[in-house]
Amino acid sequence: MQNKGKLAALLSSVIAVLLILVCAFYLSFTIVNSNYETAATDYAHVQSQGKENQDQAYNDAYKHYMDSIGQQKVYLGYTLDEVRKWGVNLGLDLKGGMNVTLQVDMPDMMRQLANVKNDSNFEKALTATSAFMDKEPNADYLQHFLAEYAKVCPNADLTVVFSPVVKENKPDVARSQLRAEIRDMVNTSATQTLRKRIDQFGVVSPNIQVLEGKDGQILLELPGVKDHERVRELLQRSANLEFYLTYTAGEVAADINAVAQAAIKDSIEDAATLAQVLAASQGMINPNYPILAYAPTDKEVKAIDATLARYANKLPNDLKFGWGVKPETQQVKKGDKTEEVKIGYALYALKTQNGGPALDGEVVKDASADFDAQSFRGQEVSMTMNSEGAREWSRITGANIGKSIAIVLDGQVYSAPTVNTAIDGGRSSITGNFTVEEAKDLANVLKAGKMKAKVNIISDMVIGPSLGKQAIQDGMMSFVVALVCLMIFMIAFYGFIPGIIANLCLIFNLFFTLGILASFQAVLTLSGIAGIVLSLGMAVDANVLIFERAKEELRAGKNSRTAIADGYSNAFSAIFDGNLTSIITGIILLYFGTGPIKGFATTLIIGLICSFFTAVYLSRVFFLWVAKTKAMNKMTFTTALSRKLFHDTKINFMGKRKAAFGVTIAIIVVFVASLCLKGLNQGIDFSGGRNYIVKFEKPVNTTELQQKLAPEFDGSTVSVITIESSNQVRISTNYKIDSDAKGTDEEITGKLFKVLKPYLRPGMSDKEFSTYDASQGIVSSQKVGPTVADDMRTEAYIAVTLALIAMFLYILLRFRNVAFSLGALAAVAFTAFSIIGFYSIFWGVFPFAMEIDQTFIAAILTVIGYQINDTVVVFDRVRENLGLYPKWNFFDTINHSINSTLARTIMTSASTLLVLICIFILGGDSIRSFVFAMGFGVIIGTLATIFVASPVAYVTDSRRHHKKADTKAIAKNA
């Protein structure tokens, strides 16, 4: 046995040394990368000073610096690009930037995959499917579409419609093959195109991830991005470039007027709009040019589109309409001055060739932004075609001299120049009164290539750099204070040498966790730091279990060496079970969570694995070293503070089980009543909406702000709460959350600025207000669309249910006793429900956001793992005592087991609460609600282990033990 112990210690030492070397190697990349990033930041600051667009100049300079030395070998033969890849990067909540979830437009994707064009049955099936998905966003799109298509076209051969993707004309097979093709298109074409666009924009270290289990959803994390509207525009463009021949206004005037009169005659909705717009535009129309009319606003545009679609049979088959990308302006003389007056969006008459454009944009091989030397109206985008495109372009322009050719991008007409001569060399240009940034972005998306299907932003989050810096300070402060408090706690309660050994294990645990994160190329977020800190708190549990068992062995009269060896041996199963159950909940979080939740789960799992090694194996090595000194004989694992604390308690817990059941039922009734009457405060993760964090010069009254904001949002919900300090608030609203209309975000920020302007710094402009990088104004925003909210809500239910089932099955497998499983399940269910009920009663009372969102669900799942850990320790002791004292009745066995583990229960809860209090006070508002739910769960969970899990197990299993006792008595009497 002694040789085995020495061999285990030697093996642990070797593994520890290897881990130290590996972790040091990977963490060194982070240090080297940090030095070069600091140099790049200094360079970019110098280069961007005094530039017109300072943010873009900074990004360009930073990217130029890092790219210029990216291939240079800077460390151990590795290039800087390789060093950056292996370093631990900061997440958006620490660095600032933008988090975007994109949804590939499924109807558009289906059109791309199908071989049918302008098929009315196909379009009917798409329309019906879209209507169904609006009501049931979590339904299977492909399954429903194929069912709808079978209704309208029952004899369709799917192998023909979707050739060559679909190989067999069976709905189930077709669905599987189509899903695989869509996944492949998203994984390759869409992500590659997006990466090219982002790289051209100058984003440093972007993360692009296709979300598993989500048809066509892509997550993008873009650190350091500041021009958020520009990025949104850049990402959502399909870059579908087309060149159309055109009709002149004179050629189709009779047809368009006939449609206008038919609409008036039939009295359709907005019947007069087309006629009114045609009449108003009459003096501005050139009969030899393709513009038919000018619509003043989006409202007229939509009304005219509906009218033209309704009466399409009255128009030429090859006539297609397109609207200008921007409202046209006209020079108007007013007195001595000439002013530009907006006249509206131009309606162009396009002529299709075989149902499509004369030339597709796929022939464009390069694009660049240049100055428009002909019109002197800003920038243009010059394009160069490949050889095939150049030949076709020469032919088309040569055959249409004197006519206009419309240049259409993503369905909008950018220009329609008149051809003066055949154009050779494959050159063309797009004009449109662009700014420098607009021309540059348009050139970039054309170079990157078009998306196979449109994409829409369904959720996004923006974090300003100032908020990121504050998050780093908060995270590091909570981390350091929590670590120091834990170290003091262990020395104060278990003595100097055991405390030092436990603290050394914490330090190695931290070092190993960070090193493993670096080897995985993980991104460190604020929630990740919380996961590390929490894993340290839970790591103490293993040391507490070992130390408490060693104390029991010392009190039984054993010497120090034997007591420590038996302490490790007897505590092992409880430590193993506790860590494994917490890891199971972490895996569920990792699978169902996104963004910050994944970061929390990743660090928690790694931290728990590392803590198991350091607490169980590495600490034993340290004790073997101490065993060679005289200090070993003086070790008692107690201090003056803890010597008599929870020692030899004899509380009759089982005798109070009826009172415990009564209190439990009463608490459940109160919480059920609150949930029915008051409900829950759902965050935008589950309800959909927008959040804006706004900072002011002075403290503000949230009630006053809410009253002033409410009328601006047309009956939509608006809430205002204080965040962090009295001069910073979070404004939440679901205003136009279903709208995909362009400019909605600017409209909302405009409304906010209008109301909040009196509370901001005098002279602050609306642009400064929404820069996300100022001492005042919007410092962070988040948008969650209704589809994403429904997905998150469904996944939350599944995650919690799976966690409960997993815990029940694990306890059943581990203890082979249904009573123990039922007791554990009752305790975790009560704990989870108590947290939910408490949040229902007290939201709006406490000075922080008590919302039901992703982080709240993460807290519930973490508490479930923690609760099971606590319950396992008690049940493990019950099982041990049943073997040691078979003559004891079940009542006394459970009572004795709870009392003998009471010190461990209280000490572990106290150490975990100590960590949570540090995070709650110092960790920042973004994780405060999560930490509060965790802390409340730890308290309730500890009580539930004693007063719910154990009594339920006793009541369920006591009859079986009575039968055993009766059988033994009969056998004895016989």
Q: DSSP letter string over 850-907? A: --BSHHHHHHHHHHHHHHHHHHHHHHHHHHHHHHH-TTS-HHHHHHHHHHHTHHHHHH
Taking each helix axis from N to C end, the angle separating 786-815 and 818-842, rounded to the nearest 10 degrees, works out to 150
Indicate yes or no: pTM above 0.85: no
Q: Which helix (H) or strand (E) holds 966?
A: helix 950-973
Question: CA 409 to CA 237: how far, in whole Å?
Answer: 9
Q: Which fold does the domain 465-637+654-676+790-959 belong to in CATH?
A: Multidrug efflux transporter AcrB transmembrane fold (1.20.1640)
pLDDT of residue 918: 86
Domain boundaries, the chain: 2-87, 101-238, 241-450, 465-637+654-676+790-959, 689-784
The CA-based angle 427-429-434, given to 5 degrees, is 160
Tokens of 881: 């005592």
Is residue 453 scored above 90 in pLDDT?
no
> Rounded to an integer, what distance in angstroms lies between the CA atom of residue 430 and that of residue 241?
10
Contact 455, 190 (CB under 8 A): yes
Mean pLDDT to the nearest integer, 347-365:
88
Please work out, in degrees rounded to the nearest 5, the angle formed at the alpha carbon of residue 308 by the alpha carbons of 306 and 309. 65
Alpha carbon distance 872, 953 (integer Å) = 12
Q: What angle in degrees, to the nearest 10, is found between the helix axes of 436-448 and 191-201? A: 150
**Is pLDDT of 228 > 80?**
no
- Give one DSSP letter per residue of 453-512, joined into a string: S-EEEEEEEEE-HHHHHHHHHHHHHHHHHHHHHHHHHHHHHH-HHHHHHHHHHHHHHHHH
**Token pair recorded at residue 856:** 């709240």
Q: Which residues contact 580 (CB under 8 A, 6 or more apart)?
A: 810
Average of per-residue pLDDT values in the chain: 82
924-951 pLDDT, tens digit per residue, is 676 788 888 888 999 999 999 999 999 9
Task: Give the HSE-up count for residue 84: Cα atoms under 13 Å, Cβ half-sphere.
Answer: 17
Which pLDDT value is given to residue 648?
A: 75
Distance CA(766)–CA(771), nearest Å, equals 9
Bridge partner residues of 781 (DSSP): 462, 692
**Chain-centroid distance, C-alpha 653:** 44
Quick one: pLDDT band at residue 55, thresholds 50, 70, 90? low
Residues 6+ apart with CB under 8 A from 827: 867, 871, 941, 944, 945, 948, 949, 952
Which residues are CB-neighbours of 114 under 8 A, at least 6 positions away?
A: 122, 161, 162
- Percent of the chain at pLDDT > 70 equals 90
Give per-residue pLDDT as tens, 121-154: 888 888 898 888 877 777 788 888 888 888 888 8
pLDDT at 204 over 70: no
- C-alpha to C-alpha distance for 483 and 479, rounded to whole angstroms: 6
Rounded distance between C-alpha atoms, residue 419 and residue 396, angstroms: 10
CA distance 13 to 625: 11
The CA distance from 229 to 781, in Å, is 12
Taking the C-alpha atoms of residue 318 and residue 355, their distance in angstroms, rounded to an integer, is 7
Of 498, 533, 528, the C-alpha closest to 642 is 498
User: Other C-beta atoms within 10 Å of 318: how many?
Assistant: 13
Q: How many helices (H) and strands (E) does the chain have?
A: 34, 23
DSSP 404: B
Q: Which pLDDT score, from 0 to 100, does residue 724 have? A: 66
Tens of pLDDT, residues 265-308? 887 777 788 888 888 888 889 999 999 999 988 888 888 988 89
Angle between helices 496-519 and 526-555 (to 10 degrees): 150
Token pair for 586 = 């972490």
Q: How confident is the model at residue 3 (pLDDT cuts 50, 70, 90)?
A: low
Q: Which helix (H) or strand (E) element contains residue 533?
A: helix 526-555
Partner residues linked to 319 by β-bridges: 351
Residue type, 580: L
What are φ and ψ of residue 419, in 5° steps? -80, 125
Query: In angstroms, how far is the first alpha carbon of the chain from the final one?
Result: 43
The residue-averaged pLDDT of 785-804 equals 73
Out of 178-187, 483-492, 544-553, 560-569, pick the least confident.
178-187
Specify the CATH number for 241-450; select among 3.40.50.1370, 3.40.50.2300, 3.30.1360.200, 3.30.420.40: 3.30.1360.200
Nearest-angstrom CA–CA distance, 88 and 79: 16
Residue 468's pLDDT band (cuts 50, 70, 90): low
Task: Retrieve residue 570's tokens.
Answer: 């007897």
Q: Give the H/E segment covering residue 410.
A: none
Residue 704 burial by CB count (10 A; 0-12/13-18/19+): exposed, middle or buried?
A: exposed
Integer Cα distance of 776 and 540 in angstroms: 42
Tell me the pLDDT tens digit for each residue of 694-746: 888 888 888 888 888 888 887 788 888 777 677 888 888 888 877 766 678 88
pLDDT at 569 over 90: no
Least confident of 486-490, 628-632, 913-917: 628-632
Tell me the mean pLDDT in the region 868-890. 86
User: Alpha helices, DSSP H only, in 757-785?
Assistant: 766-769
Using CA atoms, how far apart are residues 286 and 187, in angstroms rounded to an integer?
48
pLDDT digits (tens, 9 = 90+) for 503-533: 999 899 989 998 998 888 777 776 777 777 7
Angle at 776 between CA 770 and CA 778, to 5 degrees: 35
Longest distance between any two alpha carbons in the chain, whole Å: 125
CA distance 826 to 304: 62
Q: The tokens of 468 are what? A: 């990121």
The architecture (CATH level 2) of 689-784 comes to 2-Layer Sandwich (3.30)
